[in-house]
Amino acid sequence: MAYSEKVMDHFANPRNVGKLEDASGVGEVGNAKCGDIMKMYIRVEDGIITDVKFNTYGCASAIATSSMATEMIKGKPVSEALKLTNKAVIEALDGLPPAKVHCSVLAEEAVKAAVADYYRRQGIEMEIPGCDGHCDGCHLHEA
C-alpha cells in the first residue's frame, strides 16, 4: 500500500490538531469496521470558519485526511465547507489507496457534522448536500 508524499506529510506533521474549548460547532464520526474516530471542532465568526481543530484516533490515512480537511475549510465560509467532498480531500492529498478511501469519507462527514452542530446551536435548519435525511450511521442528524 503506497502513500503519497502529501499523505505522509499530513500524517507525520498533522495540521490543526487539538481541541477548541469555545467551539461554535463540534462533530464526531466513526467507522465501526476500521475503528477510526474523528472529532472536528470549528469556530465561526461572521459566517467564516476562523479556526478548526481535530482529534483523530485511527490510521495514517485517517489522520492525513482529517488534517487536509481542516486546511481546506479554514478561512472559508461555512456554506463552502459544506460543499467539501471526500474526492476533493483525496485529490488534495494526491490520492489514497482504494482500501483507505473510507477515511476521506469520514473527514467529509466530520466537517459536515461540525457545521450541522453549529447550525443547530444557531437555531438554523440546514440541508446537508447529498443527504436525504435517512442516512444509516452518518451521525449528521443527531441532536
Residue 4: CB atoms within 10 A of its CB come to 15
CA–CA gap between residue 41 and residue 114 (Å, rounded): 6
Of the candidates 53, 52, 63, the one whose C-alpha atom is nearest the C-alpha of residue 7 is 63
Which grid cell sits at 12?
507525520
73 and 81 Cβ atoms separated by less than 8 Å: yes
Query: Residues 103, 131, 135, 138: which is the catalytic one?
Result: 103
Query: Residues 34, 59, 131, 138: which is the catalytic one?
Result: 34
C-alpha dihedral sign at 49, 9, 38, 88: positive
> Does the active-site annotation cover 138?
no
Active-site residues: which are they?
Answer: 34, 103
